[in-house]
Amino acid sequence: MDRIRLTIALVAVLCFGTVQARSLMGKSSPPPSLPFPALTNCQQKADSTPFRVSMTVTKAIPAQTFCFNITTATPNNTATSCGKATKLERVQFWAAYANRTGITTITVRDTKGAQKTVSGAWIKSGNTYNDELVIANLGWTAGYIATASPRICLTLHADLPLDTLCLGPAGRCTIGLYSTGASSAKCCPVYTVPLSA
C-alpha cells in the first residue's frame, strides 16, 4: 500500500507539481500569509497589545456612515514588549485604493459628542499605492479610550458598499492597530470585524 501511494505521489509531482502531490499524500500546503499590513517585523497577533476594535460596526448619521469603536483590554501577555504598549498611534484599514474616491469623509467621534474630521493616507510602495488606508497621529492612551470611547467613522458614497471598500474575507473589514511597544517593538495586531451581526 505504501509503495502504491508513493508511486501516485511521484506521478503527481511529474504531472501536476509538488502542491498537488502533497495533497494526494494527505498533507495540505500551508495557507498563504495575509498580505496585510505591509510592514515587516511587526507583531500581528490579535490581543497582543492593550488596544482592540469592537467586533460590531455601528451606523451613524449621515447615511452610509460606518463606525469602528476602539476599546481596550488586558493583553494576552503583559510581559511582552507589545503587551507593554502605552499608546495607539494609528489605525489601518485593508481597503481598496481603487475605491478611494467613494470615501467622502473620515471622522473621529466620542461619547461626549465631539467630532473631528481627519485625513486618511494611503500607504505607498515606490510609485504604487497599496490597498491600505491609514488614520495616523492618534496618540490614544488606554485611559483616554476608556473615558472617551472613540470611534473612527467612514462616510461612503451611496453606491459604495462597505463590503466593496474592505478587502480580505468576505463580509468583514480587516484592521490593524499600530503601537510601539517596549524597546521600540513594532506592534500591529490584526482584527477582522464582521459587517453585520
Say what percent of the chain tops pLDDT 70.
Answer: 81
CA 54 to chain centre: 12
Q: Is 7 helix (H, G, I), strand (E, B) or coil?
A: helix
What distance, in Å, lies between the first and last C-alpha atoms of the chain?
Answer: 49
Q: Which CATH class is domain 51-194?
A: mainly beta
How much is the pTM?
0.80
Residue pLDDT, tens place only, 34-86: 568 877 789 999 999 999 999 999 999 999 999 999 999 999 999 999 999 99
Q: Report CA dihedral (79, 80, 85, 89) to the nearest 10 degrees.
A: -160
Write out the residue limits of the CATH 2.60.40 domain(s) in the chain.
Answer: 51-194
Cell 504531472 identifies what position? 15
* Cα–Cα distance for residue pair 14/11, rounded to 1 Å: 5
Residue pLDDT, tens place only, 73-124: 999 999 999 999 999 999 999 999 999 999 999 999 998 888 999 999 999 8
